[in-house]
Amino acid sequence: MSMASQEHLEKMQLRQNYANLWHTDLVGTIQADAPYCCLAFWCGPCVSYLLRKRALYNDMTRYTCCAGYMPCSGRCGESRCPEFCLLTEVLLCFGNSVASTRFLLQDEFNIQTTQCDNCIIGFMFCLQQVACIFSIVAMIVGSEEIQEASQLLSCLADMVYCSVCACMQTQHKIEMDKRDGMFGPPAPMAVPSVQQMSRLDQPYPPAVGYPPQQAYGQPYGYPPPQAQSYPPAGYPPPQAQSYPPAGYPPPGYPSAYPK
């Protein structure tokens, strides 16, 4: 395996771990922008040309054939006439042009494809393979019934292919509308109320909006004792009597010291 093929394989595996998603999935593209989806269905190469140019921010000096994801990229004289090379790409390699624009957007915005979109794209490829096998069997056997069945299957595969490519291109267009701010600025984040805010340095959440907790060991609803007024009643105490008190010692009581 060459170095370039190994890099592309690693890039495909990396896309599975991208964190962002498409603004609209393939199923919702018809509802999101039905007129553009119809335009992409009936004029797929024109839409692919415009989307690739828009994906490059209208700077064709950055253009590379198939966005650099194919072995022929950079070897087709893109630098001399990028518009003509892009026109040739969308006409002769329409499927690769759609896929290259998709990879370009995925790598720029870290977008992964949902499982539902992968199933739709995988079903499209499987139906094309089955139609090809039926066509080969019809040529080998030469049965008219098998030939008619292979033609119906090929027609169904082409319809599914055109429909899925139209939805993919509409998905790319909506994603670039989001990139260019056509949906308006993002809504500002709402500040949570005081009751919803908490701090990591507080051992307990604030008691805002909650009744006061009862003391341990008291039944619920037990009335707390009334706080005493300050200063308490009876304060300050009455003045103490002089020492020794009046009339002490009593008359006739012998003195302890001789006069």
Give the C-alpha distances (Å, rounded to integers) separating 187 from 2, 180, 184. 47, 16, 9
* The pTM of the whole model exceeds 0.85: no
Q: Which residues contact 97 (CB under 8 A, 6 or more apart)?
A: 45, 48, 49, 52, 66, 89, 90
In the chain, what's the furthest Cα-to-Cα distance? 159
More confident residue, 207 or 118: 118
More confident residue, 228 or 197: 228
Q: Which residues contact 207 (CB under 8 A, 6 or more apart)?
A: 213
Residue 235 DSSP symbol: -
More confident residue, 239 or 52: 52
Percent of the chain with pLDDT over 70: 66
The string of pLDDT tens digits covering residues 63-117 is 999 888 888 888 888 889 999 999 999 999 999 999 999 999 998 999 988 899 9
pLDDT of residue 205: 42
At residue 258, the 3 state secondary structure works out as: coil
What span, in angstroms and rounded, lies between the C-alpha atoms of 175 and 54? 11
Contact 67, 104 (CB under 8 A): yes
What span, in angstroms and rounded, lies between the C-alpha atoms of 39 and 156? 20
Q: Residue 158 has which token pair? A: 């082409």
188 has a pLDDT exceeding 70: no
More confident residue, 180 or 188: 180
Q: Provide the β-strand partners of residue 20.
A: 111
Contact 175, 28 (CB under 8 A): no
What span, in angstroms and rounded, lies between the C-alpha atoms of 251 and 88? 139
What span, in angstroms and rounded, lies between the C-alpha atoms of 127 and 156? 8
